[in-house]
């Protein structure tokens, strides 16, 4: 059969129009959506009403943070987890760690990592898939859990007041464009060998990157005076400390004890197997990104056990699916027919991964779970980083069905996992190509 047989004709378009307008349901849907918008017209009232912000198990957390117009959710979620431990150490009710501080070093490390990878791929064609993939986004905002822990272990942490947000830390687009331009220029020099040796080209580029970052974000502190009053009004002083000393004094988390579990039910990724992704990282010599692929029920039970023990769970998901931001609800049944695409219910998670309709796009914290009388999860409480508008002052509610379909990764302490899973994490991982769905950055 030739492709001409499938050309859209006037008769075909007329037939489609007649079929659409011949349905009263379609006409009502068109009138509602064109007048009031998809969310207002399609929201399933019963699905929305069954979401009460009450949970059988809850981790006490402070007010939500706000990443604004940036893709730093993974840093915010990671620091939101650590700040609970630091907050307890300091005796404070409300407290934030500096996201801007880690943003600065993440960008600097990513710039160096990008340039080294360009050198590694010198024998590849510039217009080939690999180099094109590297050049597409040299210093993205996004990241992964192992990238976060590498930054914390190397650079420590500081309170938000020590290096607060700037205009550009919350609006990163123009800064990223400048950084990308400089790094792509350096890539051209490296690949075309038009200027000096590799060390000179990389050194000059990194000096420019540091300059641009300092202009946009400020310079990160190497030491700072830290003193505070706790909620009882008692005064304390650490004196002059480095960011790593602050981490060691006020955060007891051993980040090496955490394991990333993924749920990638694809034919090419058997469960009970460790995976990594080639060129996925932010730091030369940093921790490799390691995933252990497990059944979704394993992820849920590990998340439950962690929350019940009093610790939130960092997780990665496809946040754009079945979400009502104003109501703060994530639910697969949230939008009624005929507003849902035909075939949506039969488009499996495996197929969404394979055909480009599913991947990790956002990281948040699970801070609560509502269990039924049999210990099965009904809904989950989510700490987001989009500010306090929407949901319960910025906290979201997630149905358990949404967890099944759109959560791809969680990070938990080894103590809530079976020894066999921990052993898998120590095995030599299967290496996936950079463009694999599991290479997506949250």
Q: Domains plus CATH for the chain?
A: 57-229+249-439 (3.90.70.10)
Question: Can you tell me the distance from the alpha carbon of 100 to that of 228, in angstroms, rounded to the nearest whole number?
Answer: 21
Q: Mean pLDDT throughout 16-29?
A: 90
- Tokens 């009053």 belong to residue: 229
Contacts of 42 (CB under 8 A, 6+ apart): 33, 335, 336, 339, 340
Q: What pLDDT, in 10s, does the model give residues 133-170?
A: 999 999 999 999 999 999 999 999 999 999 999 999 99
Contacts of 222 (CB under 8 A, 6+ apart): 242, 243
Q: What pLDDT, in 10s, does the model give residues 65-81?
A: 999 999 999 999 999 99
Q: What pLDDT, in 10s, does the model give residues 25-63?
A: 888 888 988 898 888 888 888 888 887 889 999 999 999
DSSP state of 6: G
Q: What pLDDT, in 10s, does the model give residues 367-380?
A: 999 999 999 999 99
* Strands 329-330 vs 395-399: parallel, antiparallel or unpaired: parallel
Q: What percent of the chain has pLDDT over 70?
A: 97
Q: Which of 73, 251, 260, 317 is catalytic?
A: 73
pTM: 0.95
Please give the span between the terminal C-alpha atoms of the chain, in angstroms, as a whole number: 43
Q: Which of 51, 263, 324, 362 is catalytic?
A: 362
Reduce the DSSP state of residue 218 to 3 states and report it: coil
- What mean pLDDT value characterizes the chain? 95
Q: What pLDDT, in 10s, does the model give residues 295-342?
A: 999 999 999 999 999 999 999 999 999 999 999 999 999 987 666 666
Say what the pLDDT of residue 345 is: 66
Say what the pLDDT of residue 418 is: 98
Say what the pLDDT of residue 77 is: 98
Our answer to whether residue 384 is catalytic in this structure is yes
Q: Mean pLDDT throughout 221-249?
A: 98
Question: Can you tell me the distance from the alpha carbon of 169 to that of 67, in angstroms, rounded to the nearest whole number?
Answer: 8
Which structure tokens are listed for 166? Answer: 């700037």
Say what the pLDDT of residue 340 is: 67
**pLDDT score of 252 more than 50:** yes
Quick one: which of 310, 292, 428, 282 has its CA closest to 367? Answer: 310
Q: What pLDDT, in 10s, does the model give residues 351-407?
A: 999 999 999 999 999 999 999 999 999 999 999 999 999 999 999 999 999 999 999
The answer to whether the CB of 269 falls within 8 A of the CB of 253 is no
Our answer to whether residue 317 is catalytic in this structure is no
Residue-wise DSSP of 232-287: T--EEEEEEE-HHHHHHHH----GGGEEEEE----TTS-SSEEEEETT--SSTT--
Say what the pLDDT of residue 338 is: 64
Which structure tokens are listed for 371? Answer: 């269990």
Q: Mean pLDDT throughout 202-227?
A: 98
Quick one: which of 78, 99, 92 has its CA closest to 170? Answer: 99
Q: What percent of the chain has pLDDT over 90?
A: 87
Say what the pLDDT of residue 1 is: 47
Say what the pLDDT of residue 236 is: 98
Distances in Å between the alpha carbon of 216 and those of 40, 70, 437? 39, 14, 32
**Number of other CB atoms surrounding residue 418 within 10 Å:** 13
Say what the pLDDT of residue 49 is: 81
Distances in Å between the alpha carbon of 47 and those of 323, 350, 400? 12, 25, 13
Our answer to whether residue 260 is catalytic in this structure is no
Say what the pLDDT of residue 4 is: 59
Q: Which of 44, 282, 384, 413 is catalytic?
A: 384
pLDDT band at 193 (very low <50, low <70, confident <90, very high): confident
Say what the pLDDT of residue 342 is: 65
pLDDT band at 122 (very low <50, low <70, confident <90, very high): very high
């Amino acid at each position: 059969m030739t492709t001409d047989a499938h050309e859209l004709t006037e008769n075909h378009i007329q037939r489609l129009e007649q079929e659409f307008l011949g349905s009263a349901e379609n006409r009502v849907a068109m009138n509602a959506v064109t007048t009031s918008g998809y969310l207002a017209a399609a929201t399933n009232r019963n699905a929305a009403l069954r979401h009460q912000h009450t949970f059988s198990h809850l981790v006490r957390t402070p007010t939500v943070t706000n990443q604004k117009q940036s893709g730093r959710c993974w840093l915010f979620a990671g620091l939101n987890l650590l700040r609970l431990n630091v907050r307890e150490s300091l005796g404070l009710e409300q407290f934030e760690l500096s996201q801007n501080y880690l943003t600065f070093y993440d960008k600097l490390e990513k710039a160096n990592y990008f340039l080294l990878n360009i050198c590694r791929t010198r024998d590849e064609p510039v217009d080939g898939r690999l180099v094109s993939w590297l050049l597409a986004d040299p210093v993205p905002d996004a990241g992964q859990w192992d990238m976060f822990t590498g930054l914390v272990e190397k650079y420590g942490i500081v309170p938000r007041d020590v290096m607060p947000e700037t205009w550009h830390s919350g609006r990163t687009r123009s800064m990223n464009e400048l950084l990308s331009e400089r790094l792509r220029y350096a890539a051209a020099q490296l690949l075309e060998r038009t200027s000096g040796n590799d060390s000179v080209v990389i050194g000059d580029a990194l000096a420019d990157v540091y300059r641009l970052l300092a202009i946009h974000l400020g310079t990160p502190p190497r030491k700072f005076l830290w003193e505070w009053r706790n909620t009882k009004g008692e005064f304390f002083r650490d004196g002059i400390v480095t960011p790593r000393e602050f981490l060691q004094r006020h955060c007891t988390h051993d980040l090496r004890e955490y394991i990333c579990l993924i749920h990638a039910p694809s034919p090419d990724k058997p469960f009970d197997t460790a995976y990594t992704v080639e060129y996925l990282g932010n730091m030369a010599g940093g921790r490799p990104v390691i995933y252990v692929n497990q059944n979704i029920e394993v992820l849920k039970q590990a998340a439950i056990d962690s929350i019940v023990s009093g610790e939130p769970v960092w997780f990665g998901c496809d946040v754009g699916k079945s979400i009502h931001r104003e109501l703060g609800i994530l639910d697969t049944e949230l939008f009624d027919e005929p507003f849902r695409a035909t075939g949506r219910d039969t488009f499996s998670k495996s197929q969404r991964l394979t055909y480009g309709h599913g991947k990790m796009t956002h990281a948040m914290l699970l801070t609560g779970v509502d269990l039924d009388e049999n210990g099965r999860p009904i809904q989950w409480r989510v700490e987001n980083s989009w500010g306090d508008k929407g949901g319960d002052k910025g906290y979201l509610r997630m149905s358990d069905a949404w967890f099944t379909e759109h959560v791809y990764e969680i990070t938990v302490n080894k103590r809530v996992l079976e020894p066999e899973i921990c052993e898998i994490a120590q095995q030599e991982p299967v290496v996936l190509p950079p463009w694999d769905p599991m290479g997506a950055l949250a």
